[in-house]
Amino acid sequence: MNWKLKASLQKLLHFTKIGDTLNHIPATLKKDYHKNVCLYQAYECLRKFEEIEIETESRNPKKALEIGTGYSLISSVILHLLGFDKVVTVDISKDVSIKTFRKQIQHIDSGDFLERIALQSTFSLTEIKEKVQQLQSFQTLEEVFDFCNIVYIPNYTLSDIEKESTSFDYICSQVVFEHISPVFLVQLFAKMKSWLPENGVAVHTINFIDHFANPGFFQDKNISEFNFLKYSDETWKYWAGNDIAYTNRLSYVYYLELCETNNLTVIDFKGENYRIHNPLSVSEIHSDIIKKYKKLQNVEDLCKYQRGTLIFKH
């Protein structure tokens, strides 16, 4: 489907109160949707955590912050199972439900996830299995939150987070930063600098591609995954300047600049290309895109990676 058609549909949906929910429905109709979300969330949460080395003995008591909960509570629950005493998870919208949680948590014991969690956790495998059994029996979100000491803050502000804590040993996000405006990213990175204690670590997975090229019924198969870099800010605002479609069109270079500005120490950045790579030529990239960077040495870098994991500490 031509991306402008999807963009027009999303613009229409954005004017309805339940636009975000309606936009999410096509994805949920896929076979094994809840099982796949559970396994993907568990895999990604563990993969990010395994990137860092924290001695389990020195991890108690510790707090974790997840930015951008989305529709699934699986990552927050995994953080609890890894041994965090308190998990704060925040989003600009309120999308979690016990119905979805119950459908997803029943798949958490597939594969070797529980064994992998136990290897990193302050809990033993037996304790983790007992916890999972209890989690699978809960009928309300309050039971889940109390049991795991999860604080879920939808429609959050930065001061809501600070009411819970001003120090987080681990801060993570999964494909969220690309949906955040540069103005808020600047504030968030400054806060992360202040929230991370000396031994604290942040691990963020960021998707850098044009979401109109994402797979699915609405995918535009005729565009490069970096198509959105061709347009001026004004044109892009016209097509995708609404809460459903918004992406900031920033590459990994921008996040590295944010770390540098805030004096955050980058431990690693792992860039990936997970699908056929169709970078734009330098002349196709709009000058408004290039202007977003303080010191961009190679314009080609803007299309270098489709996704990446940024790991930094105080």
Ligand X SMILES: C[S@@+](CC[C@H](N)C(=O)[O-])C[C@H]1O[C@@H](n2cnc3c(N)ncnc32)[C@H](O)[C@@H]1O
Q: Is 184 helix (H, G, I), strand (E, B) or coil?
A: helix
Residues 237-276 that bind ligand X (CB under 6 A): none
Question: Does residue 155 come out as left (phi exceeding 0), alpha (psi in the -120 to 50 range) or beta?
Answer: left
Residue 54 binds ligand X (CB under 6 A): no
**Pick 175 or 186: Cβ nearer ligand X:** 175
Cβ contact 229:285 at 8 Å: yes
Half-sphere exposure of 270 (CA within 13 A, CB side): 10
Q: Among the candidate windows 26-34, 62-70, 122-130, 234-242, which touches ligand X by CB under 6 A?
A: 62-70
Among 10, 23, 72, 89, binds ligand X (CB under 6 A): 72
Residues 153-182 that bind ligand X (CB under 6 A): 174-176, 179-180
Q: What is the DSSP letter of 225?
A: T
Half-sphere exposure of 237 (CA within 13 A, CB side): 6
Among 86, 91, 120, 248, binds ligand X (CB under 6 A): 91
Q: Among the candidate windows 89-97, 229-237, 258-266, 276-284, which touches ligand X by CB under 6 A?
A: 89-97
Among 19, 68, 200, 279, binds ligand X (CB under 6 A): 68
**Pick 34 or 179: Cβ nearer ligand X:** 179
- Cβ count near 126 (within 10 Å): 9
Residue 93 binds ligand X (CB under 6 A): yes
Residues 130-149 that bind ligand X (CB under 6 A): none
Alpha helices in the chain (DSSP H): 3-14, 19-28, 33-50, 74-81, 98-105, 113-120, 125-137, 141-148, 158-164, 182-195, 233-240, 252-261, 287-290
**Pick 122 or 165: Cβ nearer ligand X:** 165
**Pick 93 or 242: Cβ nearer ligand X:** 93
Compute the least distance from the CB of residue 39 to ligand X, in Å: 12
170-174 and 307-313: which strand pairing?
unpaired
- For residue 222, give every residue at least 6 positions away whose Cβ sits within 8 Å of its Cβ, in sequence order, or none: 2
Q: Which residues bind ligand X (CB under 6 A)?
A: 67-68, 70, 72, 90-93, 174-176, 179-180, 184
